[in-house]
């Protein structure tokens, strides 16, 4: 049987959801307020964890060379990602907005503890604005519990540092849950200037909302209620009135949609064309399982291809990270996907 812990919407597609939040967070970024800019980046970085409370199912592992695109001309946003390495598994992404460009890659270092797994993300996300401001930040550790028995749930903990090329620095601590379920989902942090002064204090929960007040909250006394002066940076949307099988939002459900018009434009590597995922979404579990086994065999072949010098199609290695080298959207306009392997087909993938 197909594992029940799999869901039909993969991480690369959920990255699109987080990217679209940039439109909301950064619509006022060109007004010269550097403090609000870095606070908005902090809110965006925290919001990316919010869906994991309700959605702890395992995503499909992408195949080597698998891509996903999202194009929203009405919003001025387009996004492309590609699995650029199998061992270690690395997915690179590039997103363009009207006033910013975001890029990054993610390599997970995992440790399995029997009933739980710990995931340490390696790599940085970079956000570049048209006004010249650039921000880079890391992701924190994720732990998933009750893998064998009980309700699966996850926690995020560690320190996230957002470093700008200006004079500001933001540090936020995601508090780890205790065995008594204290510190649930809590996030606290500060924005510092170059002298180390605390310009703003951040607090909230990664599954709910993030707030800030100006200055150092620690100097306000124990009787001070921070919510009396708090400004909300972000709040999670209300869950659907009628939850779906995988607790997907109305928007997330559309990420795997494949219309005839879109199918004509996509490269053969796009995730929407993945057969095991499509069968699972349609409730065809036996077909999904057989396709999953077939693609796993192809993935083992892909690992051998990488050893022989396989190169990504849309990204190139630059120092320690992968950078978008361009050409995807031009190829899409011409529907010219020469050089893109048929990674989901029955034939062996060739370099």
Check if the beta carbon of residue 243 is closer than 8 Å to that of residue 1. Answer: no
Q: What is the rounded distance in angstroms from the CA atom of residue 54 to the CA atom of residue 139?
A: 19
Highest mean pLDDT among 81-90, 100-109, 113-122, 207-216: 207-216
pLDDT for res 308? 74
In tens, the pLDDT along 263-297 reads 999 999 999 999 998 888 888 989 988 998 898 88
Domains of the chain (ranges plus CATH)? 11-255 (2.40.160.120)
Please write down the HEC assignment for all residues of 24-82. Answer: HHCCCHHHCCHHHHHHHHHHHHHHCCHHHHCCCCECCCCCCCCEEEEEECCCCEEEEEE
- Name the percent of the chain lying above pLDDT 70: 82
> Does the pLDDT value for residue 73 go beyond 70?
yes
Question: pLDDT value at position 8?
Answer: 38
Q: Where are the alpha helices (DSSP H) in the chain?
A: 11-25, 34-47, 250-253, 260-265, 275-281, 285-307, 328-334
pLDDT tens-digit map of 205-260: 999 999 999 999 999 988 999 999 999 999 987 766 656 555 566 666 778 889 99
Instruction: Say yes or no to pLDDT of 348 above 80.
Output: no
Other C-beta atoms closer than 10 Å to the C-beta of 146 total 13
Predicted local distance difference test score (pLDDT) of residue 301: 74
Q: Give me the long-range contacts of 11-15 (CB less than 8 A, separation at least 24).
A: 11/59, 11/91, 12/62, 12/68, 12/81, 12/91, 12/93, 12/271, 13/68, 13/70, 13/252, 13/255, 13/256, 13/271, 14/51, 14/59, 14/252, 14/255, 15/79, 15/81, 15/93
Residue pair 256/272 in contact by the 8 Å Cβ criterion: yes
| Dihedral (Cα; 80, 174, 39, 138), 10-degree rounding | -40
Query: pLDDT tens digits for 158-184?
Result: 999 999 988 899 999 999 987 776 778
Residue 315 and residue 323 in contact, taking contact as beta carbons nearer than 8 Å: yes
Q: Which residues contact 293 (CB under 8 A, 6 or more apart)?
A: none
What are the residues facing 110 on neighbouring strands? 119
pTM of the shown model: 0.86
- For residue 219, the Cα-to-chain-centroid distance in whole angstroms is 35
Residue 159 CB coordination number (10 Å): 12
């Amino acid at each position: 049987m197909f594992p029940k812990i799999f869901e039909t919407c993969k991480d690369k597609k959920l990255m699109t959801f987080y990217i679209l939040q940039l439109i909301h967070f950064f619509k006022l970024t060109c007004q010269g307020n550097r403090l609000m800019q870095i606070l908005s980046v902090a809110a965006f970085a925290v919001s990316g964890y919010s869906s994991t409370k309700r959605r702890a199912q395992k995503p499909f592992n992408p195949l080597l060379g698998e891509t996903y695109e999202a194009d929203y001309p009405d919003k001025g946003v387009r996004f492309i990602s590609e699995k650029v390495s199998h061992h270690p598994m690395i997915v690179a992404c590039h997103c363009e907005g009207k006033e910013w460009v975001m890029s990054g890659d993610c390599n997970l270092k995992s440790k399995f503890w029997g009933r739980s797994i710990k995931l340490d993300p390696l790599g940085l996300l970079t956000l570049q604005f048209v006004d010249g401001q650039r921000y880079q930040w890391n992701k924190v550790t994720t732990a998933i519990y009750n893998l064998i028995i009980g309700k699966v749930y996850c926690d995020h903990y560690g320190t996230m540092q957002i470093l700008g090329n200006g004079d500001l620095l933001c540090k936020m601590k995601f508090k780890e849950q205790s065995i008594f379920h204290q510190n649930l989902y809590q996030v606290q942090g500060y924005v510092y200037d170059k002298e180390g002064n605390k310009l703003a204090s951040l607090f909230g929960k990664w599954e709910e909302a993030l707030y800030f007040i100006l200055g150092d909250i620690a100097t306000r006394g124990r009787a001070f209620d921070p919510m009396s002066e708090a400004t909300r940076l972000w709040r999670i949307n209300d869950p659907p009135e009628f939850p779906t099988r995988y607790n997907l939002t109305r928007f997330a459900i559309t990420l795997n949609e494949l219309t005839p018009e879109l199918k004509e434009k996509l490269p053969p590597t796009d995730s929407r064309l993945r057969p095991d995922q499509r069968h699972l979404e349609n409730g065809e579990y036996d077909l999904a399982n057989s396709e999953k086994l077939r693609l796993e065999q192809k993935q083992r072949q892909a690992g051998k291809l990488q050893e022989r010098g396989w190169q990504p199609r849309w990204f190139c290695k630059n120092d320690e990270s992968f950078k978008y080298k361009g050409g995807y959207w031009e190829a899409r306009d011409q529907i010219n996907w020469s050089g893109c392997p048929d990674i989901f087909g029955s034939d062996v993938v060739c370099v």
